A = this chain, B = another copy of it.
């Protein structure tokens, strides 16, 4: 995450960055140029007193705010090279949130035109150039923009102008935009989400494939006495105790913070806000390394219903996310009901299972209820029956389980089936969905006969209802395990 700094207030920048570890900052080349009296360009790192990576924006956000800027696209490209920017952005035209389709189309076209114009005048090969994707809320335009930019050789891609969507908490729209762009862009290049600088949204958009963020919010909010937490924002005036150990908070009370002179308070809050962002990013990277990012999303999604809706929308796209999800992780996975149903591991399991069994028909399918014990076949009640059946050529054994639905005996020790820790409150919808998956499996594997041990429990009854609707099978209801063995072992006809 780049901390966005005002190019014309280098002192404040120095004060803030002195104590908060930041490895990269972003500033605005357009505002810097406008604010300089002399005609000789400054050296950016000297000017800001920051030796590590500095990215520069081009003034595009100012177009969105003020309608236009008094600079030519090629001029700002040259200027960014002159001031020695490490990462630079062409002067694109942001679509914005309220643009109609016609306007969105024009911004996409114009951004592509400017991209070509800019690429033609670039001289340095040590600057990383960012190619912005536009299109606003018009997903077909986002897709077109991303495809066009992908054809051009940028080092980094960026999704333009989510700031307004962030401010109005339209996270669901932003989720769709990010996924649309990500799908069309080269997976090997980083994606920057412009202007999404609040820690509460980081884990969700990182899960969708955003690699870079910038935050001006940490400083803008500080001016308004707003205090970041990983879950949201507090008003300093309302806080009685600081649940934070950062450099600004560790040894002061909220009253002492409130009593500071305005500029000192602004700096203290900016440091705090920035530090919360950095800490949250470290937490997210740890979660990714240990395979626990979804777990973090589950928790963060309860910080606000708007984030819960964001998480829910993200669930629509786990089929895409799952493609890049490791097949096996360091840790087991947690299942909390509805919100976990679309987690990548579970979606992946269903997709891969159905692909794997395509056409693998056996004559008889024996359906047994999965118990709490993992692997399922070690359930003391089922163990001996399973042992009798497992070597019969014409029989396959399948457990019906929550949340995975159908689990063939051969897979009940494979990740993540026995590594799933389930909080299961047996909702009606859980039963319905898992039973549907079982029925899909039966349809796909086309057994002649299905022996179902449904019992009296609700899940078994739901599976029974779903299987009864399949006309191509003979469904035999069995009441006991002895009966299961007996019928299964009968010679096939």
Contacts and interface: CB of A to CB of B under 8 A. Distances in A.
Interface of A: 231, 238-247, 250, 275, 279-280, 282-283, 285-286, 289-290, 295, 298-306, 308-309, 312, 334-338, 421-423, 425, 427-429, 432
15 contacts: A240-B286, A241-B285, A242-B282, A243-B279, A243-B280, A245-B275, A302-B334, A302-B336, A305-B334, A305-B335, A305-B336, A338-B425, A427-B427, A427-B429, A428-B428
Copies in the complex: 2
A427 B337 CA distance: 11
A282 B241 contact: yes
A310 to B, nearest CB: 10
Contacts of A304: 334, 421
A240 B289 contact: yes
A286 B241 contact: yes
Contacts of A295: 302-303
Contacts of A427: 338, 427-429
A374 to B, nearest CB: 14
Contacts of A238: 290
A208 to B, nearest CB: 19
Contacts of A423: 305, 308-309, 312
A418 to B, nearest CB: 15
A336 to B, nearest CB: 6
A286 B245 contact: no
Nearest to A422: B305
Task: Report the 10 A-B pairs with minimum CB-CB distance, sorted nearest first.
Answer: A243-B283, A298-B302, A308-B423, A305-B423, A299-B302, A428-B428, A243-B282, A241-B282, A245-B245, A245-B246
A240 B286 CA distance: 7
Contacts of A242: 282
Nearest to A421: B305
Contacts of A300: 299
Contacts of A241: 282, 285-286
Q: Which among A295, A298, A308, A338 has the highest number of chain B CB atoms within 10 Å?
A: A308
A241 B338 CA distance: 31
A261 B358 CA distance: 58
A302 B297 CA distance: 9
Contacts of A275: 245
A314 to B, nearest CB: 13
A91 B290 CA distance: 45
Contacts of A422: 305
Given A244-B245, A305-B336, 16 more contacts: A240-B285, A241-B285, A241-B286, A243-B279, A243-B286, A299-B300, A299-B302, A299-B303, A302-B302, A302-B334, A305-B335, A305-B422, A306-B421, A338-B338, A427-B427, A427-B428
Contacts of A245: 244-247, 250, 275, 279
